[in-house]
Chains A and B, each alone.
Chain A
C-alpha cells in the first residue's frame, strides 16, 4: 500500500518541497515571514496554518484559471487571487484568535508578497492541473512550516525556556546557574539560527548524494 502511494505523482509533488526542494532553506524564498514570526512557537504555528491555507487555495485557483488568464496580465491576476485568500485568512484570525493576530501584526498581510506563493503560482500552478497544484501547495506550505516550527521552537526554548508558553526548563537547572539566552528573542538570532539550519540541511543533502 505504502509502496503504491510512493510511486504516485502526487506523492512526488508533495514530498519534493519537504526535502530536496525546500522553499526556504534550499530555494531561498519567503524568508521575511520565516524570520519575523518565529520568536515563539505559537505564532509560528498559526502563521504556518495561514500560509498553507493561502498557498493551497491560491495554487488551486490559479491552476483552475490557467487557461483563461491572458499571459501579459497574469501577475496582477495572481496577486488578486492571493490577496483575496489572505484577506480571508486575516479576517478569520482576527475573529477567532485575536491575540495571536495582534502579535503577527502586519505579517499576515505580508503573506501576499511572500515569494513562495507567487513563485509556486508562476512555476507550478500555471502549468499543471488543479489536483496536482493542490498537493504542490500543501507540500510547499508544510516545507515552509517545518522550518518555521523548528526555528520557533529553538528560539522560544533557548530564549525564554518555554514551549507554547509553558515553562519546560525546570527550576533546578536555573538554580544551577543556567540563564535564558536573551539574544534569542532579538532579530539577529533569527538570522543565525536559520543560517545554521540551512547548513545542517544542505550538509545532509550533500551526504545523501555522495
Chain B
C-alpha cells in the first residue's frame, strides 16, 4: 500500500511529467490560454492515461516481452522492438474508441472533453507514460496508479500556467519575448518550485 502512495506522490510532484520530464509540452503550450480549456484538457489526459497505461502493460507483458508468448507455446520469441508501434497504435485506437463510446453513452462529458481527445493521441506524455511504465517494470496495479497520478501532475502544471497566463495579458512584456519566450521562462520558474519537492525523502 505504502508503495502505491509513494508512486503516486512521486509522479505527481517529484517526477512531474511536464515539469521534470518535459512530456506533453506541445499541447501544454497550445492550450493554456485560459483556465477552463486547460482544465478540460487536463481531465482528458488523466482519463486517457489511466486507461492506456494498464492496457499497454497487459500487451507488453503478455505479447511483447521476451518469453511473454509462453501461453501460446512460443517460448523464445522476443518482440520488444515492436513496442513503439504497438503502444502508439493502442493509444490511437483507445482514444478513438473512448471518444465514440463517450459520444454514445455520456454526451455531456463528451461535449466538454470531446474536442481534446483527438489532440491527446499525439500528446507525448501518454506515450511517455507507457514507455516509462515498461522501463521501470511496474506491476499491473502500480501501472494503473502511475498512470492516474501522472495525469494529475500534468493537470496541476497546466492549471498553474493557464492561471498565470490569464493575468499576463495585463503585463508589459518586450515584443520579442511575448508568447513562447515568456511562457518558457514562466514554466521554468514553476518547475523550479516543483524541484523543492525532490528534497522529500520517501
Interface of A is mostly: helix
Known: A32-B22, A75-B121, A191-B185. 6 other contacts (CB 8 A): A30-B26, A83-B89, A115-B26, A187-B19, A187-B191, A187-B195
Cβ contact of A192, chosen from B21, B123, B184, cutoff 8 A: B184
Question: Using Cβ atoms and an 8 Å threshold, which residues of chain B touch A194?
Answer: 184
Comparing B55-63, B99-107, B125-133, the segment that makes contact with chain A is B125-133
Nearest CB to that of B185 among chain A residues?
A: A195
Question: Using Cβ atoms and an 8 Å threshold, which residues of chain B touch A203?
Answer: 174-176
Given the interface pairs A32-B22, A35-B22, A188-B191, the reply to whether A106 lies near B132 with Cβ below 8 Å is: yes
Comparing B4-12, B43-51, B79-87, B145-153, the segment that makes contact with chain A is B79-87
- A sample of 11 inter-chain contacts (CB < 8 A) reads A32-B24, A83-B88, A91-B81, A113-B127, A186-B195, A187-B22, A191-B184, A196-B181, A196-B185, A198-B181, A202-B175
Question: Using Cβ atoms and an 8 Å threshold, which residues of chain A touch B132?
Answer: 106
Question: Are B131 and A110 in touch, CB under 8 angstroms?
Answer: yes
Question: Using Cβ atoms and an 8 Å threshold, which residues of chain A touch B81?
Answer: 87, 90-91
Question: Using Cβ atoms and an 8 Å threshold, which residues of chain B touch A84?
Answer: 85
The B-contacting residues of A in range 18-58, CB under 8 angstroms, are 25-26, 28-33, 35-36
Given the interface pairs A31-B26, A32-B26, A109-B83, the reply to whether A192 lies near B131 with Cβ below 8 Å is: no
CB distance from B150 to the nearest CB of A (A): 13
How many A-B Cβ pairs are below 8 Å? 134
Question: Are A202 and B176 in touch, CB under 8 angstroms?
Answer: yes
Question: Using Cβ atoms and an 8 Å threshold, which residues of chain B touch A112?
Answer: 84, 88, 127
Q: Does A76 contact B (CB under 8 A)?
A: yes
- Residues of chain A touching chain B, judged by Cβ–Cβ distance below 8 Å, are 25-26, 28-33, 35-36, 75-76, 79-80, 83-84, 86-87, 90-91, 105-106, 109-110, 112-115, 118, 186-192, 194-196, 198-203, 205-206
- Residues of chain B touching chain A, judged by Cβ–Cβ distance below 8 Å, are 19-26, 29-30, 81-85, 87-89, 92, 121-124, 126-128, 131-132, 135, 174-177, 180-185, 187-189, 191-192, 195
A118 to B135, CA, bound (A): 25
Question: Using Cβ atoms and an 8 Å threshold, which residues of chain B touch A195?
Answer: 177, 180-185, 187-188
Nearest 10 A/B pairs, CB to CB: A195-B184, A191-B188, A203-B176, A31-B25, A202-B176, A192-B188, A195-B185, A106-B131, A35-B22, A188-B191
Question: Are B174 and A199 in touch, CB under 8 angstroms?
Answer: yes
Question: Using Cβ atoms and an 8 Å threshold, which residues of chain A touch B124?
Answer: 32-33, 110, 113-114
Question: Are A115 and B180 in touch, CB under 8 angstroms?
Answer: no
Question: Using Cβ atoms and an 8 Å threshold, which residues of chain B touch A87?
Answer: 81-82, 84-85
Question: Using Cβ atoms and an 8 Å threshold, which residues of chain B touch A80?
Answer: 85, 89
A203 to B175, CA, bound (A): 7
Given the interface pairs A189-B188, A199-B174, the reply to whether A32 lies near B23 with Cβ below 8 Å is: yes
Question: Are A113 and B122 in touch, CB under 8 angstroms?
Answer: yes
Nearest CB to that of B93 among chain A residues?
A: A76
Given the interface pairs A83-B84, A109-B127, the reply to whether A32 lies near B181 with Cβ below 8 Å is: no
